[in-house]
Amino acid sequence: MQREPGAASQAEMERVVLPHLDAAYNLARWLVWNPQDAEDVVQEACLRAMRFIGGYREGDARAWLLRIVRNTAYTFLEKNRPAALSEEFDESLHVRDDGKTTDVEAEFARSTDSQMLQAALEMLPVRFREVVILRELEGLAYKEIAEVMEIPIGTVMSSLARGREQLREKLLTAQSKGVHRGVRE
């Protein structure tokens, strides 16, 4: 079989792609959940990256690779778990006026653990989840997130605000349930 024009040499692959493998895997894990599926998605994405490395010019290699990982993960989800993508996105921010007090804040800070956080993230619609992951776990700037998700910066900002708000609500709900359970037992 002939090599496609523009296909990467292995050396380019190692230079451009491999340094960002953790970032690629982290994003894939949070998008498709199952570790084996995430590995398959990353491997496929790396092969795609290698084929299309001609499309990468000096610039942000991480954002470029993450965009490919994201597209690959979405293709995977469409094929295998279409329900995960059919959630409604409510982009509007709800102004809360119901007893928002510093007590809630203190409670929130005290009892959040990583398992609870993981469960809450799992419940977020995929688009909100990925924007939170890219910002908070990967530390990307809005501009980079816009590049990865192929959306305008304004949408990054609104999705992030909404995602954080939903995450906070889910955490508070989970915590109040946890507290009740604790009292009963």
Partner 1 sequence: MACESDKLLLHAYFDGELDLVRSLKIEEHVKSCSDCSLDLRQQQTLRTALRMPGLYQRAPQALRERVLAAAARESGGGSRSAAWNKAVPLRPARRRPVLEWLAVAASIAVVVLVGWRLVPGLRNDRQTDLFTQEIVASHIRSLQPGHLYDVESTDQHTVKPWFDGKLDFSPPVRDMADQGFPLVGGRLDYIGSRAVAALVYQRRKHIINVFVWPESSSDVANAEGFKRQEIQNGYNLIEWRKGEMDFVAVSDVNADDLKQFIQLMQKP
Q: Which residues bind partner 1 (CB under 8 A)?
A: 1-3, 7-10, 13-26, 29-30, 35, 38-40, 42-44, 46-47, 50-51, 60-62, 93, 95-97, 100, 102, 105, 108-109, 112-114, 117-118, 132, 135-137, 139, 141-142, 157-158, 160-161, 164, 167-168, 171
Residue 114 DSSP class? H
Distances in whole angstroms, Cα of residue 39 to Cα of each of 22, 27, 43, 153, 185:
11, 11, 6, 29, 40
Distances in whole angstroms, Cα of residue 28 to Cα of each of 1, 14, 133, 180:
30, 19, 11, 35
Nearer to partner 1, 16 or 77 (CB): 16
Nearer to partner 1, 83 or 109 (CB): 109
Nearer to partner 1, 65 or 183 (CB): 65
Taking the complex as a whole, the smallest distance from the CB of residue 150 to partner 1 amounts, in Å, to 19
Nearer to partner 1, 2 or 185 (CB): 2
Residue in 123, 160, 166 with CA at minimum distance from that of residue 142: 160
| Maximal C-alpha separation, the chain | 68
Taking the complex as a whole, the smallest distance from the CB of residue 23 to partner 1 amounts, in Å, to 8
CB 175 within 8 A of CB 183: no
CB 145 within 8 A of CB 135: yes
Count of residues for the chain? Answer: 185
Taking the complex as a whole, the smallest distance from the CB of residue 71 to partner 1 amounts, in Å, to 14
Taking the complex as a whole, the smallest distance from the CB of residue 94 to partner 1 amounts, in Å, to 10
Q: Residue 104: what residue type? A: V
Taking the complex as a whole, the smallest distance from the CB of residue 152 to partner 1 amounts, in Å, to 13
Taking the complex as a whole, the smallest distance from the CB of residue 181 to partner 1 amounts, in Å, to 20
Nearer to partner 1, 36 or 185 (CB): 36
Helix (H) or strand (E) holding 150: none
Nearer to partner 1, 20 or 127 (CB): 20
